[in-house]
Structure 1
Amino acid sequence: MHEFALYGQVRKDDHHRMLQQLAGFARMQPQDAKEIHLVFKARQPPGVDLVQSIGASHLASQRQQDIQRVKNMLNAGLYYVQLVGEVLPEKPARVAENGDVTMTNGSGGQAAEKSSVKWSFEFRDTPDAGKQAVSSRLISRTPMDEGNFIRFLDNFGYDYVSRYMVVGSRFYDHDTTLFLHQVLRLPEVGADEAISDESFSSSINDLPELDGSGGYILQASIDVVDGNNPELKERATRQLLAVKEALRQAVDLTPGDRLSLDTRLPITSGRT
């Protein structure tokens, strides 16, 4: 799947006005969205740190270049990935004939336990290089239903790094998703508590903002099953540019900065 997107910055003071603009454009009321993001990084292949430093004075220039090329190849496929937990609205309680209050699942049966977060595994590639009218990159989302997610990712070579929260409002216009949001900092915990800890859930409004100015980000995006199909790519690009034109008086939508959207791990050496 490919994601085509444009991004814009909205000042805190303009948030309410932007919500009204988007509601009028999409002809719908905003849908509240809350997501918990857990960041993981891939571990380097065993032995990478044993490769000699390119700064060794006894190595010839060609030899140094060869070693650097090997290091680049071994690190080229390492990315940051995320577990994204969509915070679901509280399920309504059902009062039984005997007066007991129970929770029901989607099929109408009694749920053994109320679930408030729906998890998925997300991979986002680095946006395509070159001057583009819109940002384009490969993405993948895989639902995670049950099990120990942290251990699962550890077994596949991913280490937990940090977590944060995204809160905002979503609008939909045909195939386009408009997401006006901001990023909040979450209390740092160990890997074993990263999913289970919900101590912040009762005081989300008190979480510190990543952007000290309190600004918001507007992302206009379209997901395409086959982004390499020229016709589908052209259609998605055309739709996003139409959104950009329609909202140009309210926000400046542009392709995202490729460096800031780069999901690859930096290539570093463990030796000096």
Structure 2
Amino acid sequence: MHQLALYGQIRKDDHHRMLQQLAGFTRMQPQDVREIQLVFKARQPPGLDLVQSIGASNLASQQQQDLQRVKHMLNAGLYYVHLVGEVLPEKKARPTENEDVTMTDANSSAEGKTSTVRWSLDFKDTPEPGKQPVSSRMVSRTPMEEGNLIQFLGNFGYEYVSRYVVIGSRFYEKDTTILVHKVLRLPEVGPGKAVSDNTFLSNIEALPELDRSGSYIVQASIDIVDGNNPELKDRATRQLLGIKEALKQAVDLTPGDRLALDTRLPATSRRT
């Protein structure tokens, strides 16, 4: 799946006006959004330090090229991923006939306790390079319904880094999702409590903001199944540019900065 998106920023004082304009534009009331975001990073493959130095003087030119290719392959494809917990309204937190949101370990302090958080694993690739009218990148979201999520990700080579909360409002206009949100900081806890600790939900508005100015981020996005299909991509691009034009008096929507949206791990040397 590919996501095409435009981004903007509004001041805290303009937030209420923005919600009113989006409510009129989309002909719907805003839907509250509260998401717990846990950040994980991929571990480098074991044994990478054993790969001989590229600059070894006793290696032939072809061997140096082969080793460089091996090191690049082992370091490539290392990304940050997010474990996203959607905080459900209380009335939707009860299991239904087709949905069981009871967590056996990751989200419950006692067996059989119904969770108010629905978890999924999110991957977002770095946006495509070059000058584009909209940001385009591959995304995926996999439901994570039960089990020890930290251990599960650890078995796949990912380790917990940090966590934060996203709060805001969501609107829909045809195929487009418009999200007005800001990021709140969470007290750091160990990996064992990163999923199960929901104590802050009772007073979420008291959490400190990452951006002290109180600004909100506006994201207009469309998810398409096949990003390589030029017809689907062109249609989604036209829809986003149409929304950009319609909302230009309220917010300036532009493609995101590729460096700011880079989800790859920094390339650092592990040898001294």
State whether TM-score is above 0.5.
yes
C-alpha distance in 1 between matches for 2:53 and 2:212: 40
Deviation at 1:90, TM superposition (A): 0.8
The corresponding residue for 1:124 is: 124
The corresponding residue for 2:97 is: 107
Secondary structure in 2 aligned to 1:159? Answer: strand
For the Cα contact (< 8 Å) 1:53–1:269, is it kept in 2? no
**% same residue:** 71
- Could you tell me which amino acid in structure 2 is paired with residue 32 of structure 1? D
Deviation at 1:69, TM superposition (A): 4.3
1:79-228 alignment to 2 at 5 Å? 79-91=79-91, 104-107=94-97, 112-228=112-228
Residue 264 in structure 1 maps to residue 225 in structure 2: no
For the Cα contact (< 8 Å) 1:10–1:251, is it kept in 2? yes
C-alpha distance in 2 between matches for 1:238 and 1:170: 21
Secondary structure in 1 aligned to 2:182? Answer: strand
Query: Residue 57 and residue 49 in structure 1: after superposition, are their counterparts in 2 closer, same or farther (change >3 A)?
Result: closer
Deviation at 1:70, TM superposition (A): 3.3
Query: Residue 50 and residue 249 in structure 1: after superposition, are their counterparts in 2 closer, same or farther (change >3 A)?
Result: same
C-alpha distance in 1 between matches for 2:85 and 2:23: 25
The corresponding residue for 1:40 is: 40
Aligned residue pairs, count = 261
- Could you tell me which amino acid in structure 1 is paired with residue 150 of structure 2? I
- Could you tell me which amino acid in structure 2 is paired with residue 135 of structure 1? S
CA deviation map 1:152-190 (0-9, x unaligned): 111111111111110000000010000000011111011
Deviation at 1:68, TM superposition (A): 4.6
CA deviation map 1:169-213 (0-9, x unaligned): 000001000000001111101111000011211111111111111
Query: Residue 264 and residue 61 in structure 1: after superposition, are their counterparts in 2 closer, same or farther (change >3 A)?
Result: farther
Deviation at 1:269, TM superposition (A): 1.2
More off after superposition, 32-41 vs 64-73: 64-73
CA RMSD in angstroms comes to 2.3
Deviation at 1:47, TM superposition (A): 1.4
C-alpha distance in 2 between matches for 1:140 and 1:108: 22
Deviation at 1:58, TM superposition (A): 5.1
The corresponding residue for 1:5 is: 5
Residue 51 in structure 1 maps to residue 41 in structure 2: no
The corresponding residue for 2:249 is: 249
Unaligned runs of 5+ in 2: 103-111
More off after superposition, 65-74 vs 218-227: 65-74
Deviation at 1:46, TM superposition (A): 1.1
C-alpha distance in 2 between matches for 1:196 and 1:240: 38
Secondary structure in 2 aligned to 1:118? Answer: strand
Deviation at 1:52, TM superposition (A): 4.5
